[in-house]
Structure 1
Amino acid sequence: LGDIDGLSLAVTASGGRSWHFRYCWNGKQKRMSMGTYPEVSLREARSLRDEARKLLAQGVNPQAHRRHTREADRLAEENTFKSTFDHWVEH
C-alpha cells in the first residue's frame, strides 16, 4: 500500500505489515525498512521517511548511516569502564 514520497506499507500473505522507504542511490533502487505496523504508526513512519530524505539531500545513504549509527552505539556500550573492568577481572 503506497503512501507518498517513497513510503509504503508492505503486507505479507500471512498478515505481517511493515513500513518501507524506497529511494535511489547511485542509480540503483534501494529499499529500507522503517519498522512494523502497529509498533510504528503512520506518523512515526512519515517522520522517519523525512529524516531519510534529509540525509539523501545531504548526499548520505540513509541505510548506511543507520548501520554506522547502530555500530557506534554498540561499541560505545561495549567499551565502558565497567565492561573493561569486568573483562580484566575475568582474565
Structure 2
Amino acid sequence: MPLTDATCKNARCPEGKARERYADSGGLYLEALPAGGKHWRWKYRIGGKEKRLAIGTYPAVTLAQARQARDDARKKLLEGVDCWSMWT
C-alpha cells in the first residue's frame, strides 16, 4: 500500500533495530533511523547492479516532492543516465 503523509509523520524505528523501512511504490521508501532521522531513498537497477539514490530528509522533502524526484530520476534512467551520478 502506498504511503500517506500520516504514515510518514508517525514513522519510527523500533528499539534495537538499525533502521525501519516504509515502502511507497516504484522503489521509493522512507528509512527511519533510531536517532529519529527519516530519509527518502529510491532503489533502482542499472547495468544489472542495484543502487540507491538519497533524495532528502523528511519533513524537509515531502511525500509529494519525493515521488516527483523519483519520477524525474526514473525518466533520466530511461534515457540511459545513471541517477546516482546525476545527484552527486
Q: TM-score range by the shorter chain?
A: 0.7 to 0.9
Match of 1:19 in 2: 40
User: Which aligned pairs between 1:28-47 and structure 2 lie closer than 5 A?
Assistant: 28-47=49-68
Query: Does residue 1:63 correspond to 2:88, yes or no?
Result: no
Match of 1:54 in 2: 75
Identity %: 42
Aligned-pair Cα RMSD in Å: 0.7
TM-score by length of 2: 0.73
Greater percentage in helix: 1
| 1:52 alignment partner, SS class | helix
Greater percentage in strand: 2
Unaligned runs of 5+ in 1: 68-91
Structure 1 residue runs of 4 or more that deviate by more than 4 Å after TM superposition: none
| 2:26 alignment partner, SS class | coil
Aligned residues: 67
User: Could you say which structure has the larger radius of gyration?
Assistant: 1
| 2:23 alignment partner, SS class | coil
1:3 is matched by which residue type in structure 2?
D
Considering Cα pairs closer than 8 Å and 6+ residues apart, tell me whether 1 or 2 has the greater RCO.
Answer: 2
TM-score by length of 1: 0.71
